Amino acid sequence: MTSFTADDVSAVTANVEGMRDTLITLSHEISADPELSYDEHRAAARCADLLEQNGFEVERASYGQPTSFAARLGSGDTHIVICAEYDALPGVGHACGHNIIAASGLGAGMALAPLLDAANMRLTVLGTHAEEVGGGKVELIDAGAFDDADVALMMHPTPYDDYGPKSLACEEWIVVHKGRASHASGAPELGLNALDGVIAGYNNISLLRQSFRKYQQVHGVIVDGGKAPNVIPERAEASYYLRAVNSEDLEDLRTRVRACLEGAATATGTTVEISVNGYVYESLKPHEKLVATFTEACDAIGREFFPDPSGEELGGSTDFGNVSQRIPGLHADLAVYCSPAVNHQHEFAAACISPDGDKSMLDAAKALALTALAVAADPAMVKQ
């Protein structure tokens, strides 16, 4: 297998280490200034500015998305796209560590910049907005952002190393029950309680859970449960995520959850409207050769593999799944050594700006850059 050379390892290591303080500052600044999906204006600008200062040609608000950007450099034959996420979560801030994704993606891109001509490589660092909610990469796919890319690469911080993780397909449902308001004490017989519709649907799904197929999941929250106890709620709303290991299991889940919600409407005399929010997140399809190359790159830079002691875990979803179903993709999970803390906890946000988090960010920048060089040296490895 053609791969990167020892000279590549020295050059990439020196280039990333030369930017160490800049990258750590970027990562910490994004973490300290969390912005939700579709609102990541300052994070996108921080990244775009830095790439511009480092010689990239930067298109802001690229592909019709106000908080995306495309930073391009080089004119070689192999086109590598490196994805940089930077959105945060409500309440817990950068508890998914997307600050590390952004900084490592930029680090890889800027480390590659002086090497592009010799490597016959063309590079795009793509600012990918709205990963936590919505599915920004689906919008970027639809707008052609990956059309002429040979591969797409990114990392994600996690409690343990897994360079070729799988993920679940996922779809968000907005469920609205409507009934009829009435005086809850004076004339309850004239009301139709929409909150009861939501509660009955929630309970039906809980009863269904015992017969879920492996990796089918539903989790939900009630986002509108009425306004006052003495008014029978005429409207109530819930939000559910439906997840499954593949699209067939997801379709099976849709059918059965829909029956739960319609049954609840019948039982309570309410109506139910179900709508899909955002896009379907497809499952990740790890490209074996990219995973093997990234693993080699981690060995070459002296990163010791740190796997989950409980064995392979499957959970969560990412819109990079959609990318990986279309072109060869790598979504490498790198430990920030935070166990028992996990993604979406306050402690995880802290781990992603700790010295261990910074180290994994720099490791990822190096290993992503080396993987890109290996692909450019042997483009056939990603062509079937």
Q: Is 96 in the site for Zn ion (CB under 5 A)?
A: yes
What amino acid is encoded at 96 in this protein? C
String of b and e for 276-297 (b: at least 16 CB within 10 Å)? eebbbbbbbbbbebbbbbbbbb
* Residue range at the interface with Zn ion (CB under 5 A); choices 88-96, 186-194, 231-239, 302-310: 88-96
* Residue 343: CB minimum distance to Zn ion, A: 5
Give the x/- contact pattern for Zn ion in 14-43, rule: CB under 5 A.
------------------------------
Distance, CA of 7 to CA of 4 (rounded, Å): 8
Q: Where are the alpha helices (H) located in 179-319, listed in sequence order? A: 194-208, 247-268, 288-300
* Residue range at the interface with Zn ion (CB under 5 A); choices 53-61, 90-98, 235-243, 305-313: 90-98
* Residue 98: CB minimum distance to Zn ion, A: 6
* Residue range at the interface with Zn ion (CB under 5 A); choices 22-30, 94-102, 109-117, 211-219: 94-102
Nearer to Zn ion, 96 or 145 (CB): 96
* Residue range at the interface with Zn ion (CB under 5 A); choices 62-70, 93-101, 226-234, 241-249: 93-101
Binders of Zn ion in range 301-330 (CB under 5 A): none
Nearer to Zn ion, 96 or 242 (CB): 96
What amino acid is encoded at 346 in this protein? H
Residue 271 CB burial class (10 angstroms; 0-12, 13-18, ≥19): middle
String of b and e for 234-260 (b: at least 16 CB within 10 Å)? bbbbbebbbbbbeeebbeebbebbeeb
Whether the Cβ atoms of residue 340 and residue 88 lie closer than 8 Å to each other: no
Q: Is 111 in the site for Zn ion (CB under 5 A)?
A: no
How many chain residues touch Zn ion (CB under 5 A)?
1
* Residue 40: CB minimum distance to Zn ion, A: 13
Using the structure block, give the residue that is written with the tokens 């200062």: 53
Cβ-based neighbours of 49, under 8 Å, separated by 6 or more: none
Nearer to Zn ion, 53 or 354 (CB): 354
Q: Is 192 in the site for Zn ion (CB under 5 A)?
A: no
Report the candidate in 273, 269, 275, 261 with the shortest Cα–Cα distance to residue 180.
269
Nearer to Zn ion, 83 or 112 (CB): 83
Binding region for Zn ion (CB under 5 A): 96
